[in-house]
Amino acid sequence: MAASTTEGAEEDVRLILVIDRDDDLGRKAEIDGPVMGEEDVIKAAVKLALADPTDTDANTLFEGVRVYRELAQSKDGITRFFIAAITGDVSVGTTSDMKLSAQLDNVLAKTKAKSVILVTDGAEDESVTPMVESRVKIDSVDRVVVKQSERLEGFYYMTAEFIKKATLDPNLSALFLGVPGLAALVFFIYGWEGSRILAGVLGTYLVLKGFHMERFVEDFFGEVFNAYREARISFITYLITIILILFSITQGLSEMERGGNDPMQAAGAFVAGAVVWFSAAVIFTLLGKSIDALPDTGKLLRYFTLVVYTVTIAFMAQKATEPILNPEFGVQGVASSIAVGLVVIFGTAVVQMIVRRRFILD
């Protein structure tokens, strides 16, 4: 098992170390670690291969024997080689690594090895490399992967790492765990009818991400939370805003169902049913901001101007849907309504500029 030592030269002992982190030897072949010596390692490999021909740890043991024989035959006169296999536990993690470290200490004490050559069957076994390095120098790592399963094993560990990150990272967990969980709850409550709700939620999310509007939504709910935390009156107006937005959507959907199968009429009906309540929601938001802005006259003027803009735009949107829902309503009426709305918006902007310059800036 060992080459002869040259007289007077310091002996260099190296260990070929096979790692079985999940204890396949113990579970399948009923062999306890550590397994030391070429003969015992071969017996363990044969017994494991007979117990489970598909287990890659048997290949790893045979590879360890091959490396041992190749190095032992070099016969440089000052190096002795030993081979050993250490086993962990089926509970991969702290439990298995503690068993591996105890067995490694035992092997090193018996062999007096100054360095080791690790032989493993993949990334899982190699994860104990830091533990080995803390005790002895590592000369090389020989990774044995059955050719047919190399890509599959790599994919497995990449998937496991991604699942771990998706669980721990708040942003990823919300997307990959929270969203499917919400979808499952909706399906549980509404059955297949909930698919429409899920489509609406998904569509809203894609629109917000596609037009980079998610920051606006985050800022709004952040403001709602701050208003609640500071017990501001605006918190009530924000709650009313959320309720009105939800109500505007339900009203729009209700009107859309009356629009028939024509896509244009359905879209017009949705706008007609939702625009009034949605504009009311915007107004309540501005009301809350106005209350928080007191006594800042400049901000109050700006919020009042935005209220006028909101009412005017809602009026124009309502009038724009009338020719779609009622073809008898002429386009001329829509044009005049839009013209009036633009005049109101322009006039409001001018009045705001004059008031700001004369009464606020001065």
Could you read off the pLDDT of 279-296 as tens digits, one per residue? Answer: 888 888 888 888 777 777
User: What's the average model confidence in pLDDT over 148-155?
Assistant: 58
Q: What pLDDT is attached to residue 292?
A: 77
Q: Write b or e for each residue in 94-119: b if 16 or more Cβ atoms lie within 10 A of its Cβ, otherwise e.
A: eebbebbbebbeebbeebebbebbbb
Domain boundary among 93, 119, 147: 147
Is residue 244 located within the same domain as residue 120?
A: no
Q: What pLDDT is attached to residue 293?
A: 76
Predicted confidence band at 123 (pLDDT cuts at 50, 70, 90)?
low
Q: What pLDDT is attached to residue 209?
A: 73
Is residue 138 located within the same domain as residue 251?
A: no
Predicted confidence band at 75 (pLDDT cuts at 50, 70, 90)?
low
CA–CA dist 130, 126 (Å, integer): 9
User: What's the average model confidence in pLDDT over 50-68?
Assistant: 87
E-assigned strands of the chain? 12-20, 35-36, 79-87, 115-120, 137-143
Assigned domain for 125 exists:
yes
Predicted confidence band at 4 (pLDDT cuts at 50, 70, 90)?
very low
Contacts 24+ apart (CB under 8 A), 339-345: 341/312, 341/313, 341/315, 341/316, 344/308, 344/312, 345/308, 345/309, 345/312, 345/313
CA–CA dist 261, 174 (Å, integer): 36
Assigned domain for 169 exists:
no
Is residue 143 located within the same domain as residue 236?
A: no
Backbone angles phi, psi at 236, to 5 degrees: -65, -45
Assigned domain for 222 exists:
no
Predicted confidence band at 42 (pLDDT cuts at 50, 70, 90)?
very high
Q: What pLDDT is attached to residue 146?
A: 58
Q: What pLDDT is attached to residue 321?
A: 79
Q: What pLDDT is attached to residue 166?
A: 63
Greatest CA separation found in the chain? 114
CA–CA dist 156, 147 (Å, integer): 15
Predicted confidence band at 259 (pLDDT cuts at 50, 70, 90)?
low
Is residue 141 located within the same domain as residue 238?
A: no
Q: What pLDDT is attached to residue 46?
A: 93
Q: What pLDDT is attached to residue 24?
A: 86
Assigned domain for 195 exists:
no
Q: Provide DSSP, 348-359.
A: HHHHHHHHIIII
Assigned domain for 72 exists:
yes
Assigned domain for 62 exists:
yes
Helix (H, G, I), strand (E, B) or coil at 32: coil
CA–CA dist 124, 97 (Å, integer): 11
Q: Are 237 and 291 in contact (CB under 8 A)?
A: yes
43-47, 242-246, 306-310, range with greatest mean pLDDT: 43-47
The H-or-E segment that residue 313 falls in is helix 297-325
DSSP-derived secondary structure letter, 90: S
Q: What pLDDT is attached to residue 83?
A: 92
Predicted confidence band at 147 (pLDDT cuts at 50, 70, 90)?
low
CA–CA dist 92, 279 (Å, integer): 58
CA–CA dist 267, 256 (Å, integer): 7
Domain boundary among 147, 180, 211: 147
17's tokens: 């170390």
2-6, 44-48, 88-92, 251-255, range with greatest mean pLDDT: 44-48
State the total domains in the chain. Answer: 2
Beta carbons within 8 Å of 226's beta carbon, 6+ residues apart: 232
Q: Provide DSSP, 100-133.
A: HHHHHHHHHHHH--SEEEEEESSHHHHTTHHHHH
Residue 328 scores a pLDDT above 60: yes
Assigned domain for 220 exists:
no
Place of tokens 């106005």: 290
User: What's the average model confidence in pLDDT over 131-139?
Assistant: 88
The residue length of the chain stands at 362
Name the residue range of residue 252's domain: 232-360
Domain boundary among 89, 116, 147: 147
User: What's the average model confidence in pLDDT over 56-66?
Assistant: 88
User: What's the average model confidence in pLDDT over 34-44?
Assistant: 91
Predicted confidence band at 320 (pLDDT cuts at 50, 70, 90)?
confident
Q: Are 310 and 282 in contact (CB under 8 A)?
A: yes
Place of tokens 């006039």: 347
Could you read off the pLDDT of 182-218 as tens digits, one per residue? Answer: 777 777 777 776 676 777 777 777 777 777 777 777 7
Assigned domain for 241 exists:
yes
Q: From the CB of residue 303, how many other CB atoms can be counted at a distance below 10 Å?
A: 20
